Structure 1
Amino acid sequence: MTRTAVLICPGRGTYNKPELGYLHRHHADKAALFASFDAARATLGQEEVTALDGATRFSVSKYSRGDIASPLIYASAVADAQSLAEDIEVVAVTGNSMGWYIALAAAGALTPQHGFDLVNTMGSLMQEHLIGGQLVYPFTGSDWRNDPHRKADLLQKVAEINAREGHVLSLSIDLGGLLVLAGDEAGLSAFEAAVPVVEDRFPMRLANHAGFHTRLQEPVAAAGRARLNAAMLQQPEVALIDGRGAIWRPGATDLAALWDYTLGHQVVEPYDFTRAVQNAALEFAPDLFIVTGPGTTLGGAVAQSLVHQNWQGLSDKAAFKTRQQKDPLLISMGDDGQRKLVVR
């Protein structure tokens, strides 16, 4: 019997020390795919993806760089998307932040190679410019219940800081129960000073992350448009859900508009991952939400997004965990135990 699924592609921050060797462990059968990625990197004088993945030592300073992390995450996620079991029907694809670029390839709007070129180009540009930074802060408690008043208060604080002279701060990603904020050093520091520490780790700065999804990235978006060719886009084979929750459908997608979004709004405006997941649930009602690797950190944001709309009665973390134990709804391919449920 066919299982329907929404496929969700991760963004930056998902290839960490435990993921070193991901391509070699899970995708030894995809040498030809990775060879083309390696060749593209070599032409640019960059270290090959398979060499990066096959290294014996992991360092945050190196592997968190945009020009290193982005191609590794892309290769891992696209290979995972190609490894799904034959009884799984992907009815829609979405992603978080950089995961939008991966989603384009997973949905067939880009060939795997064109998707790699897009990701490698934008990851390198982000690293070259490295404008601003990001931090993460929760607005829900440990039970994951939605707290719109707390969220509104935090966003009001963000707006107040952004209005100060010499400060830049805004929402970057609406990520389940987390707010990802982006800004300059003055804006980020002001927020850190204004909020209490939560769980001994928030607010958490993200290493080597620029001020993604804000106006700070306009030079990067312009450089991307100058280097890349819109002709690489083609009609998606399955529906795509973008960072506004908008749906791009096969055979009915305006490719010029899709390109404008991808290297325009998607780069310089807030990314609403929560809405993307919720719209995927409402519009496609899948049997499964499958998060490709690498890593497993995006699963929490997917689960929280579903809880915040009370999807199928999932009212809080406890309800979600009970459902997962009884009849798994969310599968993270970066988790070896869950992975085997959905791969060939």
Structure 2
Amino acid sequence: MKTAVVICPGRGTYNATELGYLARHFPDPALLSRLDGERMAAGQETLSALDGAARFSLSVHARGDNASGLIYAATLGDFLSLDRARVRVVAVTGNSMGWYSALACAGAASAEDGFRIANTMGTLMQRALIGGQLIHPWMEDDWVPRPERRAQLLALMHDIAARPDHRLSLSIDLGGFLVLAGNEAGLKAFEAAVEPAQGRFPMRLGNHAAFHSALQAPVAAEGQAALPLALFGRPALPLIDGRGQVWWPGADTQAALRDYTLGHQVTESYDFTAAIRTAAREFAPDLFVVTGPGNTLGGAVAQALIAAGWRGLASKAAFQARQADAPLLVSMGLADQRGLVA
């Protein structure tokens, strides 16, 4: 049996190729029906209907009030599908809204309560849609860490943020990428000042608000008013948050967990790189398992491991050689890798 840290993906991972993911992989029809009931009670289209649509619609499926529920359910279904005779989960973490999924996977919220948290926050963010996000790399295609480049980009960000009426801050430290959040003036100024990279960056993230920034303070306040303490429990598995901090099983942390989830996690930067570094160094798993939907988070996990110098990894080539010899990273959204753990 191999030990594994499970990693829950965030927004932007349920796309056209993921349409039908719940129908193909969700292992508990009764649970899915209960989640659909939550959506119906809120006057929202059910996950089953969204997932079963004839075609993917960016304007429908990528909306925060729909995407959050779809991604949460796909993640939870994959976690429930893990073959516990082959995989022993030693910790759980997530990226951005994947934190809500991680709460349920780690047992810090029931499946239904975790869904209520994810669906409510996704709906509130969509309703407000304050600011936006863009993503830009600080590593090149070889994934060799270049800390001086990262420092230059952050210095540019701080320079822009100091200008009148410009808001710009680090939203997510995402492996070899920086995700920035800001208002239109701040985002446009960064796009105009930075040197284009790899033919497609800096890239705006559609249907994304200024997540993990002070601009989300009104959304945090609404979430705190809507989501009671009773939704949060004690984790049954170690849970690594967006600061790289571990929430240990059995600790009396419900109030603190709610405060973090509906406070810091919403309005401050999310350090996914630190979460992966903690996962590697604290738990030293045999595998890092990224649940579906999609497989876009795998590269960021690998880059975070390289940045941490995990097991001598120093480049993309070194990581790929390690993967070919004995897989370290398993993406459940890929059919050929899913069978290794599900």
TM-score if structure 2 supplies the norm length? Answer: 0.99
Q: Distance in 2 between matches of 1:68 and 1:341?
A: 30
- In structure 1, the partner of 2:239 is 240
Q: Which amino acid aligns with 2:65?
A: D
Q: Distance in 1 between matches of 2:238 and 2:122?
A: 25
Matched, 1:205 2:207: no
Q: Distance in 1 between matches of 2:61 and 2:232?
A: 29
SS in 1 for 2:257: helix
Q: Which amino acid aligns with 1:262?
A: T
- In structure 2, the partner of 1:215 is 214
Q: Distance in 1 between matches of 2:20 and 2:252?
A: 37
- In structure 2, the partner of 1:5 is 4
Q: Which amino acid aligns with 2:290?
A: V
Shift of the alpha carbon at 1:231? Answer: 1.4
Q: Which amino acid aligns with 1:330?
A: L
Q: Which amino acid aligns with 1:56?
A: A
Among 56, 59, 64, which residue is 2:57 paired with? Answer: 59
The within-5 A match list for 1:252-263 is: 252-263=251-262
Q: Distance in 2 between matches of 1:235 and 1:172?
A: 27
Shift of the alpha carbon at 1:60? Answer: 1.3
- In structure 1, the partner of 2:79 is 81
- In structure 2, the partner of 1:336 is 335
Per-residue CA deviations over 1:145-173 (Å, capped at 9, x if unaligned) read: 11111101100100000000010000000
Shift of the alpha carbon at 1:342? Answer: 0.2
Q: Which amino acid aligns with 1:34?
A: L
SS in 2 for 1:82: helix
Q: Which amino acid aligns with 1:81?
A: F
Shift of the alpha carbon at 1:222? Answer: 0.4
SS in 1 for 2:239: strand
Shift of the alpha carbon at 1:313? Answer: 1.2
Q: Say which is worse superposed, 155-164 or 245-254, in terms of deviation.
A: 245-254
Q: Distance in 2 between matches of 1:305 and 1:21?
A: 30
Shift of the alpha carbon at 1:39? Answer: 0.3
Shift of the alpha carbon at 1:49? Answer: 0.3
Matched, 1:269 2:232: no
Q: Distance in 1 between matches of 2:241 and 2:333?
A: 22
Per-residue CA deviations over 1:86-110 (Å, capped at 9, x if unaligned) read: 2211100000000001000000000
The within-5 A match list for 1:1-344 is: 2-27=1-26, 29-86=27-84, 87-343=86-342
Q: Which amino acid aligns with 1:98?
A: M
Q: Distance in 1 between matches of 2:24 and 2:77?
A: 12
SS in 2 for 1:146: coil
Shift of the alpha carbon at 1:328? Answer: 0.1
The percentage of counterpart residues that share the same residue type is 61
Q: Which amino acid aligns with 1:30?
A: D
Per-residue CA deviations over 1:37-84 (Å, capped at 9, x if unaligned) read: 100000111000010000011121221110010000000000100000
Q: Which amino acid aligns with 2:123?
A: S
Q: Distance in 2 between matches of 1:46 and 1:108?
A: 26
Q: Distance in 2 between matches of 1:240 and 1:125?
A: 25
Q: Which amino acid aligns with 2:113?
A: H
Shift of the alpha carbon at 1:309? Answer: 1.5
SS in 1 for 2:136: strand
Q: Distance in 2 between matches of 1:285 and 1:252?
A: 22
Q: How many residues align?
A: 341
The change in CA–CA distance for 1:78 and 1:139 in structure 2 (over 3 A counts) is same
SS in 1 for 2:172: strand
TM-score if structure 1 supplies the norm length? Answer: 0.98
Shift of the alpha carbon at 1:253? Answer: 4.3
Q: Distance in 1 between matches of 2:59 and 2:195?
A: 27
Q: Distance in 1 between matches of 2:58 and 2:317?
A: 33
SS in 2 for 1:8: strand
Q: Distance in 2 between matches of 1:25 and 1:254?
A: 36
Shift of the alpha carbon at 1:190? Answer: 0.2
Q: Distance in 2 between matches of 1:24 and 1:59?
A: 17
Q: Over aligned residues, Cα RMSD in angstroms?
A: 0.7
Shift of the alpha carbon at 1:268? Answer: 0.2
Per-residue CA deviations over 1:143-202 (Å, capped at 9, x if unaligned) read: 101111110110010000000001000000000000000000000000000011111110
